[in-house]
Amino acid sequence: MTTVTYALCAGRHDIVVDGEDVTEKSVYPQTVERPLDFETHIAEAREFLIGLTRDEELMNSITQFRLVVTGLTPVLHAFLRAWHTLAPSHWVLSLGHYNRDEQVYVWEPLFTSAIDMSSLGRFVFVPYEEE
């Protein structure tokens, strides 16, 4: 199992994870021009992910992809949209959040299993009727 770690945005603060400095190893630069330009940010994240998948050895060995959340919610949103459409199904995405008290990153995995709808019962569509 190979784990890779990247920061969402470069250089927002020092980011050392398991002894590896990932401060500048990021999806986006430190300064993001036009934060609400979602289409551009999705395209940048897609380009980043495509770059990783072009390395066949890396593509086949990665099973854990850790992303340190460094702020700027619009680019996190854009990255997640790109991940949803491009990431290989065997990669598990975990978001890293800094715990100030413990001075460590806490990892929260996303998209690790299918949603089990069986316990929710049946959904029935009832059309809205105007009075």
Angle between helix 38-54 and 73-86 (nearest 10)? 50
Q: Is residue 118 part of a domain?
A: no
Range in 13-17, 76-80, 91-95 the model is least confident about: 13-17
Q: Is residue 101 part of a domain?
A: yes
Which strands form 92-99's sheet, in the order they lie side by side? 26-28, 2-9, 62-68, 92-99, 104-110
Q: Is residue 70 part of a domain?
A: yes
Q: Is residue 84 part of a domain?
A: yes
Record the tokens describing residue 53, joined without a space. Answer: 């998948």
Residues 28 and 8: their CA atoms lie apart, in Å, by 6
Q: What is the reported pTM? A: 0.79
Q: Is residue 55 part of a domain?
A: yes
pLDDT in tens, 37-89: 999 999 999 999 999 999 888 888 888 999 999 878 999 999 999 999 999 88
**Does position 27 have pLDDT exceeding 70, yes or no?**
yes
| Total domains, the chain | 1
Q: Is residue 107 part of a domain?
A: yes
Strand 104-110 with 20-21, pairing:
unpaired
How much of the chain exceeds pLDDT 70, in percent?
A: 84
Residues 10 and 72: their CA atoms lie apart, in Å, by 12
Q: Specify the 3-state DSSP secondary structure of 17.
A: strand
Q: Is residue 24 part of a domain?
A: yes
Q: Which helix (H) or strand (E) holds 43?
A: helix 38-54
Q: Is residue 104 part of a domain?
A: yes
Which residue range is the domain that position 47 belongs to?
2-113
Whose structure tokens read 């784990």? 3
> What is the chain's alpha carbon radius of gyration, rounded to the nearest angstrom?
18
